[in-house]
Amino acid sequence: MSKTKFGANGWRPSRINNLTGKTYLITGANTGAGFEASKILLSKGAEVIMLNRNTQKSNDAIAKLKLECGSDSKVSFIKMDLASLASVREAAAQVKSEFHKIDALICNAAIAQVPTQKFTKDGFESQLGVNHYGHFLLCGLLYDLLDQSKGRIVVVASEGYKMGIKTIQFDDMNWDKNYHPNNTYCHSKLAQMLFAYELQDKTAAAQRDVKIYVCHPGASATSLIKNSGSLKSKIIFGLMSMTPLVQSAEKGAYPEIMCATESEENLNQKEYYGPTGRMQWTGPVGACDLESHAQDKTTAIKLWTVSEKETQFKWNL
């Protein structure tokens, strides 16, 4: 697919038709790109369910969204902490009990560049646990509902997959021996991409009705580094945010919204969508260059097996 598929200016929300009757789940939607994605979807008439861990911030976000998009906007919140597999299971059960149709699950939430090695409630290295294992389980638990809805899964990855060790560290998934804030973050984002592309293959083989797309926000002025990064990372990114190298959180949301709403005939599951400008940090949204290690079949299959074991969840495809 050409990078100019959507014209010189790339994909923009103006391409979205009325979304009344559509329902979208977004993880990590109370700030940053997730919040901006919610706002765009609501402005087009969709219903948005935010899956967040912080109740107060979620209620504040809902109030702000209703103020900006209208008091009748259909936006709600289900408490979910991706750092707890039990919490993910509880949230998925609530989703299935309250909603009978999901047009897209947007896996937007993430933590990044955690300064020192930390662990989730289940004992996983925190970045791998939150970014990959939590979403792996959530997607699995909601997959049948998405299938019935002929819905989509949107995995929000990162250009960080090109950095670090460029493979999965199977002999030390918790990085006990060589923990590094950025390399370990990159490891977790690569895991998400390998999972997504492998899920595409498994879905096709099983002839199921779910489409899976992979995207990235480029370099966007979100709270990701602010929330979990080191002081040094916060200072560096803060300075970068004042330059043309970093775009707004709203523009950072465009790729995930595109993958959730654009006509299937204009998307290719094997692509990797995001800003196509300098270093793929900013610029028109379209199909980006994708390095082969993100689709390595042997690594993806092994990661799938490990992920099922660690999350104690067996996918039924």
| Residue 106 Cα to chain centre, angstroms | 6
| Residue 76 Cα to chain centre, angstroms | 19
DSSP secondary-structure letter at 242? T
Torsion sign over Cα 39, 40, 44, 46: negative
Catalytic, 161? Answer no
Rounded to whole angstroms, how far apart are CA atoms 233 and 180? 13
* Residue 126 phi, psi dihedral angles, 5° rounding: -60, -40
Buried-exposed string 266-283: b where 16+ CB fall within 10 A, e elsewhere = ebebebbbbbbbeebbbb
Q: Which two tokens stand for residue 209?
A: 């009705």
| Residue 231 Cα to chain centre, angstroms | 24
Return the ∠ at Cα 148 (arms to 98 and 142), rounded to 5°: 55
Per DSSP, the residues of 106-175 read: EE-------SS--B-TTS-BHHHIIIIIIHHHHHHHHHHHHHHTT-EEEEE--GGGGSTTSS--GGGTT-
Active-site annotation holder among 133, 161, 185, 254: 185
Phi-psi map region of 198: left, alpha, beta (phi>0 left; psi -120 to 50 alpha): alpha
- Residues involved in catalysis: 185
